[in-house]
């Protein structure tokens, strides 16, 4: 019997024991598939990486590496930039500062998508900005659907791989697909 202390670690997740690297790698692969589908399998992509301690965990590195590996299979999609985002000062959930989000939309306006392994953008309700009409799609890995769902509804995020608050544990068999395995622990949210 494996005792899972908590569920996730690394990019937008929580610390874990058990099979984190397998889960992280599979989650990265599924996110790449969803990204390619959203983009119609074509376009330039910008990747935002956590430059803090969370971004240096093995699980986060595995998730990003798996994402990039799977995305490289789509010949019409190209990663044009990887941006390291400095660590946040507060101890709360890892989120992308709102000003960084807006800066990335402006600097990379010609990209098809920006994929954040730093989390969803963080805004105070009163400070939520208006978005440019033409902007890249914004995709992220999120700690929880409650953090990202309002941003999807408001149009700030187009696609998110959000950690489930109540994951679906249980026995697996060899016939379970990678996607089905990942969807026990994450949900895919889309605008």
Which pair of tokens denotes residue 183?
A: 């969807």
Domain boundaries, the chain: 21-190
The DSSP H or E segment spanning 189 is strand 186-190
Collapsing DSSP states into helix, strand and coil, what is residue 77? Answer: strand
Collapsing DSSP states into helix, strand and coil, what is residue 117? Answer: coil
pLDDT in tens, 26-72: 999 999 999 999 999 999 999 999 988 888 888 889 999 999 999 99
Which pair of tokens denotes residue 105?
A: 């939309």
Q: Name the DSSP letter for residue 131.
A: P
In CATH terms, is domain 21-190 a member of 3.40.50.2300?
Answer: yes
pTM of the model as a whole:
0.85
Q: What is the mean pLDDT of residues 72-91?
A: 90
Residue 184 has phi, psi (to 5 degrees) of -75, -25
pLDDT in tens, 112-157: 999 999 999 987 655 667 787 889 999 999 988 888 999 999 889 9
């Amino acid at each position: 019997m494996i005792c899972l202390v908590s569920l996730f670690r690394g990019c937008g997740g929580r610390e874990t024991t058990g099979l984190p690297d397998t889960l992280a790698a599979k989650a990265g692969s599924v996110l790449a598939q969803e990204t390619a589908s959203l983009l119609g399998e074509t376009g330039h992509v910008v990747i935002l990486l956590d430059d803090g301690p969370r971004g240096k965990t093995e699980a986060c590195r595995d998730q990003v590496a798996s994402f990039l590996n799977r995305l490289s299979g789509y010949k019409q999609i190209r990663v044009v930039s990887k941006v390291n985002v400095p660590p946040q000062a507060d101890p709360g959930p890892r989120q992308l500062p709102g000003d960084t989000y807006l800066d990335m939309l402006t600097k990379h306006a010609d990209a098809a998508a920006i994929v954040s392994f730093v989390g969803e953008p963080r805004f105070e309700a009163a400070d939520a900005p208006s978005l440019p009409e033409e902007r890249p799609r914004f995709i992220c890995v999120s700690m929880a659907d409650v953090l990202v769902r309002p941003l999807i509804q408001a149009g700030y995020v187009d696609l998110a791989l959000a950690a489930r608050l109540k994951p679906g544990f249980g026995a697996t068999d060899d016939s379970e697909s990678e996607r089905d395995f990942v969807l026990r622990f994450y949900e895919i949210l889309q605008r």
